[in-house]
Amino acid sequence: MRHVDFAPLYRSTVGFDRLFSMLDNMSQPDNGQTYPPYNIERTGENAYRITMAVAGFGESDLSIESRENTLTVKGEKAETEGDNEVEYLHRGIAGRAFERRFQLADHVEVKGASLKNGLLHVDLVRVIPEAMKPRKIEISVADNNNDSKQIEANAA
């Protein structure tokens, strides 16, 4: 895929930086990154959950950061002295460092995170501002009384 340079558009537009960044990120391949596996589920009308399989990682090995509509989950295991003494015959549980990024929609905030049974659960909620919520407009009924003033004109 060819690379598109958005630099000329940055100079002539105001407020579209995020749009061009998203288009630029979409054009870059994900390099087939499949570790760690994850699920994204809808848990309510405005609630979501990302579940990542992070077997072997503890709370101190993981970091979660939300910045400018991007959720970044990083995992890095600290080396311990006992790891050098262990001889593995088969090592199927990956303990390699990872960084996984998720693009969040507007007004989606991270509600919390929990680690249970080797699964990292990140709960998200969409908070819609009052100004953007639909509101009902009441319709008033006009009185059609004949008591209203009428302007009469004399014909010339």
- 59 with 93, same domain: the answer is yes
Range of 65's domain?
A: 33-129
Domain assignment present for 20: yes
Question: What CA–CA distance (Å, rounded) separates 64 from 70?
Answer: 11
Mean local confidence (pLDDT), 137-141: 86
Q: How confident is the model at residue 15 (pLDDT cuts 50, 70, 90)?
A: low
* pLDDT given at position 39: 93
Mean pLDDT (whole number) for 122-127? 92
The domain tally of the chain equals: 2
What are the DSSP calls for 4-73, one per residue? Answer: P--HHHHHH-SS-HHHHHHHHHHHS--TT---S-EEEEE-SSSEEEEEEE-TT--GGGEEEEEETTEEEE
Average pLDDT of the residues in 63-83: 84
Q: Are residues 28 and 52 in the same domain?
A: no
Contact 127, 109 (CB under 8 A): yes
Regarding whether 40 and 20 lie in a shared domain, the answer is no
Residue with tokens 């004109």: 153
Given pLDDT bands bounded at 50, 70 and 90, which one contains residue 65? very high
Please tell me whether residues 16 and 67 are part of one structural domain: no
69 and 16 housed in the same domain? no
Any idea which residue has 């295991």 for tokens? 77
